[in-house]
Amino acid sequence: MLARSVLDHWDMKPFFPILLAFALISCGHGPNRTQASGNVPRELPSGTVSPNGPVLSYASVVDNVAPAVVTIRATSRVHAPQQFPFFNSPFFQQFFGGGVPQSPRTEVQEALGSGVVVRPEGYILTNDHVISGAQDIRVDLPNKHTYKATVVGADSPSDLAVLKIDAAGLAVLRLGNSDQVRVGDVCLAVGNPLGVGETVTSGIISAKGRSTEMGSGSFQDFLQTDAPINKGNSGGALVNTRGELIGINSQILSPNGGFIGIGFAIPSNMARTVMDELMKQGKVRRGMLGVTIQQITPDLASGLGLPKAEGVLVSGVAPGGPAAKAGLQSGDVILKVNGQDVNDSNALRNEIAAMQPGTEVTLTILRNGAEQNVRVQLGELNEQNAQAQAQQGNGSGASKLGIEVTPLTPSIAQQLGLPRGTQGVVVSAVDPTGPAGQVGIQEGDVIEQVNRQPVRSAADVQKALARSGNGTPLLLVNHGGQTVYVAVPLQ
Strand partners, 202: 188
pTM, entire model: 0.67
Residue 95, domain member (yes or no): no
Please identify every residue annotated as catalytic: 129, 159, 234
User: Does the structure show a pLDDT above 80 at 269?
Assistant: yes
| First-to-final CA distance of the chain | 30
Q: Are residues 23 and 132 in the same domain?
A: yes
CA distance 164 to 59: 29
Confidence category of residue 161, pLDDT binned at 50, 70, 90: very high
Residue 97 has pLDDT above 60, yes or no: no
Least confident of 14-23, 263-272, 370-379: 14-23
Q: Are residues 384 and 403 in the same domain?
A: no
**What percentage of the chain reaches a pLDDT higher than 70?**
77
146 and 274 both lie in a single domain: yes
In a domain, 300, yes or no: yes
Return the pLDDT at 364.
95
| Residue that finishes a domain, picked among 388, 414, 443 | 388
Q: Are 117 and 170 in contact (CB under 8 A)?
A: yes
Mean pLDDT calculated for residue range 377-387 = 75
141 lies in the same domain as 252: yes
Q: Tell me, yes or no, whether 93 lies in a domain.
A: no
pLDDT, the chain, mean: 80
Q: Are residues 380 and 401 in the same domain?
A: no
Residues 6+ positions from 104 with CB-CB distance below 8 Å: 79
Number of folded domains in the chain? 3
Cα(128)–Cα(123) distance, rounded to whole angstroms? 15
Name beta bridge partners: 341: 336
pLDDT at res. 363:
95
Domain co-membership, 27 together with 110: yes
Query: Quick one: what percent of the chain has pLDDT higher than 90?
Result: 41
120 located within any domain: yes
Q: pLDDT confidence of 49, banded at 50, 70, 90?
A: low
Q: Could you tell me if 293 and 214 are in contact, meaning their C-beta atoms sit under 8 angstroms apart?
A: no
**pLDDT at 303 (0 to 100):** 65
> Could you tell me how far CA 324 lies from the centroid of its own chain?
26
Within a domain: 99:
no
When pLDDT is cut at 50, 70 and 90, the band that residue 386 belongs to is low
- Which residue would you say has higher pLDDT here, 221 or 22? 221
CATH number, domain of 36, equals: 2.40.10.120
Q: Verify that 164 and 223 share a domain, yes or no.
A: yes
**pLDDT the model gives residue 234:** 93
At a CB cut-off of 8 Å and minimum separation 6, what does 404 contact?
13, 15, 294, 395, 396, 398, 427, 428, 429, 430
What residues make up the domain containing 41?
1-47+58-83+105-281
Q: What is the CATH number of the domain that holds 430?
A: 2.30.42.10
Same-domain status, 203 and 188: yes
The pLDDT of residue 19 is above 80: no
pLDDT value of residue 219? 78
Sequence-distant (6+) residues with CB within 8 A of 407 are 315, 330, 331, 425, 426, 456, 457, 458
Tell me, what's the pLDDT at 436? 87
pLDDT of res. 50? 52
Tell me, letter by letter, the H, E, C secondary structure of the chain: CCCEEECCCCCCCCCCHHHHHCEEEECCCCCCCCCCECCCCCCCCCCEECCCCCEEECHHHHHHHHHHEEEEEEEEEEECCCCCHHHHCHHHHHHHCCCCCCCCCEEEEEEEEEEEEEECCCEEEECHHHHCCCCEEEEECCCCCEEEEEEEEEEHHHCEEEEEECCCCECCCCECCHHHCCCCCEEEEEECHHHCCCEEEEEEEEEEEECCCCCCCCCCCEEEECCCCCCCCCCCEEECCCCCEEEEEEEEEECCCCCCCCEEEEEHHHHHHHHHHHHHHCCCCCEECCEEEEECCHHHHHHHCCCCCCCEEEEEECCCCHHHHHCCCCCCEEEEECCEECCCHHHHHHHHHCCCCCCEEEEEEEECCEEEEEEEECEECCHHHHHHHHHCCCCCCCHHHCEEEEECCHHHHHHCCCCCCCCCEEEEEECCCCHHHHCCCCCCCEEEEECCEECCCHHHHHHHHHCCCCCCCEEEEEECCEEEEEECCCC
C-alpha to C-alpha distances, 282 to 2, 24, 153, 275, nearest whole angstrom:
27, 28, 5, 9
Please state which of the ranges 187-201, 351-365, 441-455 shows the lowest mean pLDDT: 441-455
Band the pLDDT of 16: cuts 50, 70, 90. Answer: very low
How far is residue 246's CA from residue 277's CA, in Å, rounded to a whole number?
19
What is the pLDDT, as a whole number, of residue 346?
84
Q: Is 25 a domain residue? A: yes
- Within a domain: 442: yes
Quick: pLDDT tens for 54-89: 677 999 999 999 999 999 999 987 655 544 444 454
278: pLDDT confidence band, cut at 50, 70 and 90?
very high
Tell me whether residue 212 is exposed, middle or buried, using C-beta atoms within 10 angstroms of its C-beta: 0 to 12, 13 to 18, 19 or more: buried
Q: What are phi and psi for residue 222, nearest 5 degrees?
A: -60, 145
* pLDDT tens, position by position, 168-204: 999 999 999 999 999 999 999 999 998 888 999 999 9
Residue 88 counted as domain residue: no
State whether 316 and 409 are in the same domain.
no
Mean predicted confidence (pLDDT) in 224-232:
92
Q: What is the mean pLDDT of residues 356-377?
A: 93
Contact between 217 and 9 under an 8 Å Cβ cutoff? The reply is: no
pLDDT of residue 472: 79
pLDDT (0 to 100) of residue 30: 41
At which of 362, 388, 414 does a domain end?
388
| Mean pLDDT within 10-29 | 47
Same domain membership, residue 277 and residue 244: yes
pLDDT tens, 290-348?
Answer: 988 888 877 677 767 778 888 898 877 888 899 999 999 888 899 999 999 998 888 89
pLDDT reading at 393 higher than 60: no
Distance CA 416, CA 425 (A): 12
Do 357 and 317 lie in one domain? The reply is: yes
More confident residue, 120 or 2: 120
Of the listed ranges 14-23, 121-130, 441-450, the one predicted with least confidence:
14-23
Where residue 222 falls among pLDDT bands split at 50, 70, 90? very high
Select the more confidently predicted residue: 103 or 293. 293
Per-residue pLDDT band for 21 (boundaries 50, 70, 90) equals very low
Reply yes or no on whether the pLDDT at 282 is more than 70.
Answer: yes
Q: Looking at 168-177, 257-266, 357-366, which range is the least confident one?
A: 257-266
Task: Verify that 410 and 366 share a domain, yes or no.
Answer: no
Residue at which a domain ends, from 231, 255, 281: 281
